[in-house]
Structure 1
Amino acid sequence: MRTLLLFCLMTLMAGCAGPQVSDYAREQPRLEMSDYFSGDLQAWGMFQNRSGEVVKRFHVAMTGTWEGEVGVLDERFTYSDGTTERRIWTLRKQADGSWRGTADDVVGEAVGHIAGNALNWRYQLRLQVDDSSYVVDFDDWMYLMDDQVMLNRARMSKWGVDLGQVTLSFYKPAAAKRAE
């Protein structure tokens, strides 16, 4: 009985362990933040609640500018219900290769790590819902597919309880790449 209990506990713990950004170190193409997030980009996304229902769709127009190791990413959201939102990120590369990001609705700093084609951000976001504000946790994964396309999947939770998923597809037009 003890062996069975130990086996079940180990299986449960292994199931909770998620991927590490280092798992993607050999993946190509290599993500360079200042290359991909420079110039004009577009993204299309959706939020699915924990039962999988799509409850919000949106488009994001973005502009990234860089001065050395510091970037500004200006995101302009348009939601399917006609509402709009703007988030301006300031991104800073750290001496250890990690990234720190701030925005008005981010609590503290987002912490990001890159390996190969993958970027993992972890942060808390102040989310406005009707007349209330909630602080939620994001585990945000981005994967560079080629020089124009990046896929993004983020898990949103509160106190460890899954609230839903955000899925985005980023697109960087070839003309924007040539203009850099």
Structure 2
Amino acid sequence: MAMGRLWRRGWVAPLLGLLLGCSDMDIDDFAGRTPTLVLEEYFAGRSEGWGIMQSRFGTLQKQFRIEAEGVWDEPAQTLRLTETYRFDDGQVDRLEWAILRQEPGRYEGREPALVGTASGRQAGNAFHWVYQRRSPVADGTRLGFDDWFWLQPDGVLIARASVRRFGLEIATMSVFYRRLDR
């Protein structure tokens, strides 16, 4: 059946929605949930994390550890955050974030490998972060990231990232953080 006939019959939009995937979560749904996540407070100081990367079909691709260190600059309203990812295959990826708090609950991020800027929103115990980044591997392919963070009791931070290439989810990352300085 030709694409035009599929489009006219209303099949293309739902099919694309399934293929591209989309999140039904809205950051405002987390307003009032506790403990409250304040990004610049959580990541000021040292923290560490552990995570896995899975293919779009759930196959384990990589495991990794994260070392993070952040400094909150109150006058500039900027969190400077360095994250070093060490993957089980020997790959190391270092991110040097400058995250600007624009207004309560809204953030903008810059990092040398980004394409443009990152955009983030916070409500209750959640933070949603969206950006495009050039792949740390040699080809430098653009990857889209749709990250969600949720603060849990006892200072555990859970993160899940959807990694996309050409609009299709190619992997997910699950990460667990804990702060070291507190």
Output the TM-score relative to the length of structure 2. Answer: 0.84
Worse-matched range after superposition: 161-170 or 92-101: 92-101
Match of 1:126 among 134, 142, 152: 134
CA distance in 2, matches of 1:166, 1:148: 20
Measure how far apart 1:123 and its partner are: 0.4
Partner of 1:90 in structure 2?
98
Measure how far apart 1:78 and its partner are: 1.1
Task: Note the 1:149-168 alignment, pairs <5 A.
Answer: 149-168=156-175
Higher strand share: 1
Report if the CA contact (8 A) 1:76-1:87 is conserved: yes
For 1:40-72, what per-residue CA distance to the aligned partner results, in whole angstroms no more than 9, with x for missing partners?
Answer: 100011111111111111101111101112111
Worse-matched range after superposition: 110-119 or 31-40: 31-40
The percentage of aligned residue pairs carrying the same residue is 31
Partner of 2:121 in structure 1?
113
For 1:63-120, what per-residue CA distance to the aligned partner results, in whole angstroms no more than 9, with x for missing partners?
Answer: 1101112111111121112232211100100136310011111111100000000000
- Cα RMSD, aligned residues only: 2.1
* Partner SS, residue 57 of structure 1: strand
Partner of 2:150 in structure 1?
143
Give 5+ residue unaligned stretches, structure 1.
none
Report if the CA contact (8 A) 1:147-1:172 is conserved: no
2:71 is equivalent to residue 65 of structure 1: yes
* Partner SS, residue 128 of structure 1: coil
Whichever residue aligns with residue 81 of structure 2, its letter is L
Q: 1:113 to 1:51 in 2, by over 3 A?
A: same
Q: 1:63 to 1:128 in 2, by over 3 A?
A: closer
Task: Note the 1:75-86 alignment, pairs <5 A.
Answer: 75-86=83-94
- How many residues are matched? 166
Runs of 4+ that moved beyond 4 A: none
* Partner SS, residue 163 of structure 1: strand
Output the TM-score relative to the length of structure 1. Answer: 0.85
